[in-house]
A and B are shown apart, each in its own frame.
Chain A
Amino acid sequence: MLSDEQFTSYANRYMDTVYRTAYHCLASRTDAEDVTQEVFLKLLGERKPFESDDHVRNWLIRVAVNACRNVIRSRWWNHVSIEVCPEPAASERTGGILESVLALPAKYRVPIYLFYYEGYSTQEIAAILKIPKNTVCTRLKRAREMLKTMIEEESGYV
Chain B
Amino acid sequence: MFEQEYRQAVSRLTLPEEKAEKIRNLTLTKRQSGISKLRVVPLAAAALLLTACAAVLFDPAAMLEPIFGVNGRGSYEPDTVARMYEPGGGRTELDEELAKRYIEPCVQRLEGTVTDGNTTLTALSMIVDRFSCTAAVYLKLENPPAYAVYNSGWILFQEYENGWYIHPKAIGQSGMIGRCFIDEKSTTDQILYCTLMFSLEPQSQSLELRLGDRTEAIVIPLPEKTDMPAILLEEGDITLTPFGMRVKTSVLRQGDDDSGRETPTPLAKRELAIRFEDGTEYLILHLNYGDEDYKGCTYAMALNPDLESYVIVFNRVVDVDKVSAFRINDRIYPVT
Write the residues of chain A forming the contact surface with B, with a CB cutoff of 8 angstroms.
4, 7-8, 11-12, 15-16, 19-20, 23, 33-34, 36-38, 40-42, 44-48, 59, 62-63, 66-67, 70-71, 73-81, 84, 86, 89, 94, 96-98, 101, 112-113, 116-117, 147, 151
- Determine the chain B residues whose CB is within 8 A of the CB of A19 once the complex forms: 13-15
Is B16 in contact with A66, judged by CB distance below 8 angstroms?
A: no
Known interface pairs A41-B26, A44-B26. Does A77 touch B6 (Cβ–Cβ under 8 Å)?
Answer: no
Known interface pairs A20-B10, A38-B149, A98-B10. Does A66 touch B26 (Cβ–Cβ under 8 Å)?
Answer: no
Q: Can you name 7 A-B residue pairings with CB atoms under 8 Å?
A: A11-B24, A19-B13, A37-B78, A79-B177, A80-B263, A96-B5, A147-B2
What's the nearest-Cβ distance from chain A to residue B164, in Å?
Answer: 10
What's the nearest-Cβ distance from chain A to residue B238, in Å?
Answer: 18
Is B10 in contact with A76, judged by CB distance below 8 angstroms?
A: no
- Our pick among A36, A46, A81 for the contact of B19 (Cβ within 8 Å) is A36
Question: A62-B161, A70-B156, A78-B307 provided; 17 other pairs, C-beta below 8 A?
Answer: A7-B26, A7-B27, A15-B23, A19-B14, A19-B15, A36-B19, A37-B22, A37-B78, A45-B30, A66-B162, A74-B179, A76-B292, A76-B300, A86-B265, A89-B290, A97-B2, A116-B6
* Any A CB within 8 A of the CB of B113: no
Is B163 in contact with A42, judged by CB distance below 8 angstroms?
A: yes
In the complex, what distance in Å separates the CA atom of A4 from the CA atom of B32? 13
In the complex, what distance in Å separates the CA atom of A71 from the CA atom of B86? 12
- The residue on A at minimum CB distance from B11 is A117
- Determine the chain A residues whose CB is within 8 A of the CB of B159 once the complex forms: 45, 47
Is B22 in contact with A73, judged by CB distance below 8 angstroms?
A: no
Known interface pairs A15-B15, A44-B27, A79-B177. Does A70 touch B5 (Cβ–Cβ under 8 Å)?
Answer: no
Number of residue pairs spanning A and B whose beta carbons lie under 8 angstroms apart: 145
* Any A CB within 8 A of the CB of B153: yes
- Determine the chain A residues whose CB is within 8 A of the CB of B5 once the complex forms: 96-97
In the complex, what distance in Å separates the CA atom of A123 from the CA atom of B81? 36
- Our pick among B16, B152, B303 for the contact of A71 (Cβ within 8 Å) is B152
- Determine the chain B residues whose CB is within 8 A of the CB of A89 once the complex forms: 290
Is B151 in contact with A38, judged by CB distance below 8 angstroms?
A: yes
In the complex, what distance in Å separates the CA atom of A129 from the CA atom of B10? 20
- Determine the chain B residues whose CB is within 8 A of the CB of A38 once the complex forms: 149, 151, 156
In the complex, what distance in Å separates the CA atom of A98 from the CA atom of B302? 31
- The residue on B at minimum CB distance from A74 is B152
- The residue on A at minimum CB distance from B28 is A4
Is B15 in contact with A34, judged by CB distance below 8 angstroms?
A: no
- Our pick among B7, B152, B163, B303 for the contact of A117 (Cβ within 8 Å) is B7
In the complex, what distance in Å separates the CA atom of A66 from the CA atom of B26? 21
What's the nearest-Cβ distance from chain A to residue B23, in Å?
Answer: 5
Is B161 in contact with A59, judged by CB distance below 8 angstroms?
A: yes
Is B30 in contact with A44, judged by CB distance below 8 angstroms?
A: yes
- The residue on B at minimum CB distance from A96 is B9
- Choose among A34, A47, A76 the residue with the greatest number of B CB atoms under 10 Å from its CB: A76
* Any A CB within 8 A of the CB of B294: yes
Cβ < 8 Å to A, chain B residues 132-177: 146-147, 149, 151-154, 156, 158-159, 161-163, 174-175, 177
Please, what's the 1-or-0 string for B16-58, where 1 marks a CB less than 8 Å from any CB in chain A?
1001101110110011001000000000000000000000000
- Our pick among A4, A59, A66, A98 for the contact of B27 (Cβ within 8 Å) is A4
Cβ < 8 Å to A, chain B residues 173-188: 174-175, 177, 179
In the complex, what distance in Å separates the CA atom of A7 from the CA atom of B7? 27
- Determine the chain B residues whose CB is within 8 A of the CB of A94 once the complex forms: 9, 13
Is A76 in contact with B16, judged by CB distance below 8 angstroms?
A: no
What's the nearest-Cβ distance from chain A to residue B244, in Å?
Answer: 13
In the complex, what distance in Å separates the CA atom of A100 from the CA atom of B13? 15
Cβ < 8 Å to A, chain B residues 259-281: 263, 265-267
Is A77 in contact with B177, judged by CB distance below 8 angstroms?
A: no
- The residue on A at minimum CB distance from B7 is A117
Cβ < 8 Å to A, chain B residues 287-333: 287, 290, 292, 294, 299-304, 307
In the complex, what distance in Å separates the CA atom of A62 from the CA atom of B78? 22
- Determine the chain A residues whose CB is within 8 A of the CB of B22 once the complex forms: 37
